[in-house]
Amino acid sequence: MQKQLAAEALGTFWLVFGGCGSAVLATAFPEVGIGLLGVSLAFGLTVVTMAYAVGGISGGHFNPAVSVGLAVGGRFPSSQLLPYILAQLVGAILAAAALYVIASGKAGADLGGFAANGYGTHSPGGYSLLSALLIEVILTGFFLIVILGATHGRAPKGFAPLAIGLALTLIHLISIPVTNTSVNPARSTSQALFAGGWAIGQLWLFWVAPILGAVIGATIWKSFGEKDDDIVGGVPRDDRPVTTGR
């Protein structure tokens, strides 16, 4: 269990450091800024790389909503939910702390919203609370459907991280303008803690919506009646990552 939790913390650290780091440090860097496309790809790449690196140890959730959805879908024991979520939060917060120190090291640094998630006046595109709620629920729901399908016993072995990483990239391409994209309460919490103020006040949405979406997505998948006995305690019997989340 200690190895599983360490793998979850490490994977979530990489997700936040790589994904949010690309947004904070590289989005609008003079002449070579990566923009929305680059940030979307960065988040997808963090999932793919860590899924292959440590997914065989912990299942590679890296996301409290994914852990909840997998528990609802019958792929993960609910008794391990709290330890997994705490490990994910530790990894995310450590990554945000490291990123904050690095970003603050530039003379005259303006960290802006520090890649925090928001709605209303704090939405990148000025979208409302309702818009933010709907897009986070819908995208997290489909994210769980992709995860459960890609890691099913009938799916081609070894390709699950690619499918899930591409799904996460697509999710960011759709929703960065609306909420700066969460679908991951750990990622949202870590950035909000350093952005402070409004980000803390709006953080509740980025716990409620992703978890609700994950439950809905897992319930839809279960309604197909598909069974899979390849999962034991959240860890695969073979070297195939069970799942990975943003």
Q: Does some domain include residue 119?
A: yes
Segment 69-78, tens digit of pLDDT:
999 999 999 9
Q: Does some domain include residue 43?
A: yes
Q: Structural domain tally of the chain? A: 1
Q: Does some domain include residue 30?
A: yes
Q: Does some domain include residue 235?
A: no
Q: Does some domain include residue 234?
A: no
Q: How far apart are the first and last CA of the chain?
A: 21
Q: At residue 47, what are phi and psi to the nearest 5 degrees?
A: -70, -45
Confidence (pLDDT) at 153:
86
pLDDT > 60? residue 123: yes
Which amino acid makes up residue 244? T
pLDDT > 90? residue 157: no
Would you state the structure tokens that stand for residue 208, as one six-digit string? 């409620």
Confidence (pLDDT) at 109:
76
Phi-psi region of 183 (alpha: psi -120 to 50; beta: other; left: phi over 0): left
Q: What is the largest CA-CA distance in the chain?
A: 57
Q: Does some domain include residue 159?
A: yes
pLDDT > 50? residue 4: yes
Cβ–Cβ < 8 Å for 87, 6:
yes
Cβ–Cβ < 8 Å for 234, 223:
no
Sign of CA dihedral 214, 188, 67, 211: negative
What CATH number corresponds to the domain at position 15? 1.20.1080.10
Segment 74-97, tens digit of pLDDT:
999 999 999 999 999 999 999 999
Bigger pLDDT: 162 vs 237: 162
Segment 161-203, tens digit of pLDDT:
999 999 999 999 999 999 999 999 999 999 999 999 999 999 9
Q: Does some domain include residue 236?
A: no
Q: Does some domain include residue 240?
A: no
Range of the domain at 204: 1-104+114-223
Confidence (pLDDT) at 178:
97
Confidence (pLDDT) at 112:
82
Segment 43-62, tens digit of pLDDT:
999 999 999 999 999 999 99
SS3 59: coil
Q: At residue 231, what are phi and psi to the nearest 5 degrees?
A: -105, 125
